[in-house]
Structure 1
């Protein structure tokens, strides 16, 4: 097991970005590639300092997907410009692209999240997609970011639906790992695994107790202690779960369902965390943890996390397509197979159908 706890340096403050010029100067960097989206740059621009008079900045607009094509495009620009540092500003796909570009190179990496939608700013892995948004794989790297900067004001002004998706994605840290931890013999627990499991439990407790209020605070434009705790739980605490726990605490069933759903364009408008949220419910049916489902359903309804085919925009889904989702969620390379239970495509199909029955009873 290999633990990578997080970025080498992390700063969370309204003036966090002001640390950039000194950081660049102290490292002797003179050539920077600045990767960002249009909306993320607009959100962060009022807080961004000049990188330094001696620094040549290559400004690169992100194309929207963390695809191998986009990674190759940015890599070629970095090589041509003899880039010494990549600064990535935006959501998870921007940051994951930057991680894929810099891994195994001499380039320093600075990550600046503008959303609290997942733990990408903290983790040492990238999730890769096709240009059309279909999931391909994820890769774990030997390096973590040299610096991660979080400005709460920028996150606060981001779209609410990304924050809700981040809450659902972070809940998966507990539900995807708990059965694995329960199945481990006591003498196999290391300190790293103990930390990982505690952080996973914290993710669940913080979110179930505070997320609804945090969303209301965000709607009101207030950086409250509750909102900031939830936002940093999504980015920081969630990242420590897999960072310390490695394969014992990374994605399992919920993310496998997400990956399969990306094959259906009808779900393309849904964010990563929303589809993971649905996947949590499918996994809980497989595990027969119905009390957990009953606890989560009112929470999901309040936040607008999908719970059934209708809310996934799959009203007219055929049995053949349900079987396709179930098959794709259980192929050999999928993390669904890490769950310590006998699972087949039929298991997943049956779970999805049973979930439809459960959620229809709740609606009625």
Structure 2
């Protein structure tokens, strides 16, 4: 059986680590296109200026419009045409980072990924998610290789609103359950997917045991340190529990999903983008709930569902549709989500049993009822 594991070349995490960004840029050349929202750049402006001066590099800003779209990628490619760079730096949240990966890959450049929040597991992966101008899911993009450097500054991450760290925990919570489903179905994983395009690539690969165990460690770390990390983030302080959850949200979840596999939770998340109410909620907040949908879909043990819901309750993650902006849903609306989630190329088909749109629509509605039941009685 052919298996695959992909990794970023270097992952570095620590307090004030952005002070070393210039060193990593200098390993690729003298200047870098900096992709990030203006408010994220301003938040760390002093560190960026200091590291550029210390290591003799230039960081010139390309900006970021807030959504990872094909048009935004084209705009930034034009910036590079007018002002060539030796590498690209993506700074901020997942959409800016994904955009930086696509731009760098399309131009044959190395990319340095510098997350300012730990809200999802995008930083380490060679894949990116593209959206439409209306904020709906568009497509996946697969780079030729993983990021050259991932640089996580825990001081900056601790200063961000706690909501972002919690969203990262929601994303990380899905990692084990999706990797487990993929493992049980012998499905292919992102690590084997086409490099740059879906066409012209042949042999698929399955997940490694290493990735499956990294995914399981996500789940274990969340239960052990998730609440303590939340309390650290509430006070904007770096503690070892926060360090562990930052590593869980970014590194372990990133390696776990990419080389362990995605399944129903992320496919249903992509489907959820058709519901306008969800657009005000973060990726990881929605994935927390779609993980519950996956557990209902596979008829997981009641004890396991209660464990997940108890964790959500303890830290404040979504347990119902209302918690992600959907105050009511008709069966037809649930079916519309299911239809988008069940397109042939979606990861939902990594579940270890055949999937139908009706099954998914039913699971969406029942998962909402499961969450409501837990809220009323403290257990399922």
Q: Same fold (TM over 0.5)?
A: yes
Tell which deviates more after alignment, 5-14 or 337-346.
5-14
**d(CA) in 1 for partners of 2:360 and 2:24?**
49
Q: What are the Cα deviations for residues 226-276 of structure 1, in whole angstroms up to 9, with x where unaligned?
A: 111011111111122144x2xxx2221001111111112111111001111
Task: Rate the CA distance shift 1:2–1:144 in 2: closer, same or farther, 3 A.
Answer: farther
| 3-state SS, counterpart of residue 9 of structure 2 | coil
Number of the residue aligned with 2:193: none
Structure 1 residues 124-139: aligned runs within 5 Å? 124-139=126-141
> CA offset at residue 26 of structure 1?
4.2
Quick check: 1:13–1:150 contact (8 Å CA) kept in 2?
yes
Number of the residue aligned with 1:232: 247
Task: Rate the CA distance shift 1:57–1:313 in 2: closer, same or farther, 3 A.
Answer: closer
Number of the residue aligned with 2:199: none
Task: Rate the CA distance shift 1:221–1:319 in 2: closer, same or farther, 3 A.
Answer: same
| 3-state SS, counterpart of residue 274 of structure 1 | helix
| 3-state SS, counterpart of residue 268 of structure 1 | helix
What are the ranges of 5 or more consecutive residues in structure 2 without an aligned counterpart?
Answer: 188-204
**d(CA) in 1 for partners of 2:183 and 2:349?**
15
**How many residue pairs end up in the alignment?**
355
Tell which deviates more after alignment, 305-314 or 229-238.
305-314
Number of the residue aligned with 1:204: 219
1:220 aligns to 2:232 (yes or no)? no
Structure 1 residues 1-364: aligned runs within 5 Å? 3-27=4-28, 29-48=29-48, 49-52=50-53, 55-184=57-186, 193-243=208-258, 245=259, 249-289=260-300, 290-364=302-376
**d(CA) in 1 for partners of 2:253 and 2:153?**
18
> CA offset at residue 192 of structure 1?
6.7
Task: Rate the CA distance shift 1:357–1:265 in 2: closer, same or farther, 3 A.
Answer: closer
Task: Rate the CA distance shift 1:147–1:355 in 2: closer, same or farther, 3 A.
Answer: closer
Quick check: 2:221–2:245 contact (8 Å CA) kept in 1?
yes
Q: What are the Cα deviations for residues 277-320 of structure 1, in whole angstroms up to 9, with x where unaligned?
A: 11111111111003321211122123222222222222232222
Task: Rate the CA distance shift 1:45–1:284 in 2: closer, same or farther, 3 A.
Answer: same
> CA offset at residue 140 of structure 1?
2.1
Task: Rate the CA distance shift 1:4–1:42 in 2: closer, same or farther, 3 A.
Answer: farther
Tell which deviates more after alignment, 86-95 or 15-24.
15-24
Task: Rate the CA distance shift 1:192–1:130 in 2: closer, same or farther, 3 A.
Answer: closer
Quick check: 1:4–1:124 contact (8 Å CA) kept in 2?
no
Question: What root-mean-square deviation, in Å, do the aligned CA atoms of Structure 1 and Structure 2 show?
Answer: 2.2
Quick check: 1:6–1:239 contact (8 Å CA) kept in 2?
no
Quick check: 1:117–1:165 contact (8 Å CA) kept in 2?
yes
**d(CA) in 1 for partners of 2:238 and 2:227?**
14
Q: What are the Cα deviations for residues 132-186 of structure 1, in whole angstroms up to 9, with x where unaligned?
A: 210112122221222221111000011111111100101111011112323459x
**d(CA) in 1 for partners of 2:273 and 2:15?**
36
| 3-state SS, counterpart of residue 103 of structure 1 | helix
Quick check: 2:94–2:122 contact (8 Å CA) kept in 1?
yes
| 3-state SS, counterpart of residue 331 of structure 1 | coil
**d(CA) in 2 for partners of 1:191 and 1:264?**
33
| 3-state SS, counterpart of residue 88 of structure 1 | strand
Tell which deviates more after alignment, 159-168 or 12-21.
12-21
Task: Rate the CA distance shift 1:4–1:363 in 2: closer, same or farther, 3 A.
Answer: closer
> CA offset at residue 55 of structure 1?
4.4
Quick check: 1:84–1:106 contact (8 Å CA) kept in 2?
no
Quick check: 1:11–1:150 contact (8 Å CA) kept in 2?
yes
